[in-house]
Copies of this chain bind each other. A is one copy, B any other.
């Protein structure tokens, strides 16, 4: 059965988080690919840790703290102004080309369910020219915890007013796909990098390499 709605993750799925360092590093020197990887890793870790601690801070604050920790750990020499500039680039991440074409082709309404703060999501969607593509842009900020908490996934089904099994949840983050599957969504993992799957006990229903393969794969 075709899904009645698509619910997409944002960072890593629609938006290329590693475009941020490319666009925002300016004159900064050092191992910038390592910075990008560690920044992302710490950003995710802090969402998980603060959620478990019951000490929510929004994704902008977490992204800032993760950047500072990554720069310190890699001993990258950067001024406060350079770090501000880099953080600011997180408001304008590049959209993946396959995301644009996929969104134009989906034959059911699409929405976003993301860790991002409302401000970050509004900016990223607008900058990517995707304003008219989404029915809902849903931030975890409404429940003050992060993925893969079931309360986040419940928010999506509630706002879309559909049973989770009639919604196709799409993420490039394999742990996010597992969390959504554990909650009850139909799930597509978009594995652009050909990564080995994580084993969290909940395999996706569908695996694609690019988002614009979803429609074809759903055809009977």
> Which residues in B have their C-beta under 8 angstroms from that of A202?
55
A–B complex contacts, Cβ < 8 Å, 25 sampled: A42-B198, A45-B175, A46-B198, A46-B200, A48-B48, A48-B49, A49-B175, A49-B178, A49-B200, A52-B52, A52-B146, A52-B147, A52-B148, A52-B179, A53-B149, A53-B150, A53-B179, A53-B200, A55-B201, A55-B202, A65-B200, A68-B199, A69-B198, A69-B199, A73-B196
Of B54, B65, B73, B148, the residue contacting A53 (CB under 8 A) is B148
* A200 and B50 within 8 A (CB): yes
* B200 and A148 within 8 A (CB): no
> Which residues in B have their C-beta under 8 angstroms from that of A175?
45, 49
A188 at the binding interface (Cβ < 8 Å): no
Interface of A is mostly: helix
* A178 and B53 within 8 A (CB): yes
* A53 and B196 within 8 A (CB): no
| A194 shortest CB reach to chain B, Å | 10
Complex Cα distance, B42 from A178, in Å, reads 15
A58 at the binding interface (Cβ < 8 Å): no
Which 8 A-B residue pairings sit nearest by Cβ, starting from the closest?
A: A72-B196, A48-B48, A73-B196, A65-B199, A52-B149, A53-B148, A53-B182, A49-B175
Complex Cα distance, B197 from A147, in Å, reads 24
* Residue count of chain A within 8 Å CB distance of chain B: 34
Complex Cα distance, B199 from A50, in Å, reads 11
> Which residues in B have their C-beta under 8 angstroms from that of A150?
53-54
A16 at the binding interface (Cβ < 8 Å): no
Q: From A42, A48, A51, name the one whose CB has the most chain B CB atoms within 10 angstroms.
A: A48
* A49 and B179 within 8 A (CB): yes
| A172 shortest CB reach to chain B, Å | 15
> CB within 8 Å of B: which of A161-220?
175, 178-179, 182, 195-202
> Which residues in B have their C-beta under 8 angstroms from that of A53?
148-150, 178-179, 182, 200
Complex Cα distance, B179 from A62, in Å, reads 16
| A153 shortest CB reach to chain B, Å | 10
Complex Cα distance, B50 from A150, in Å, reads 11
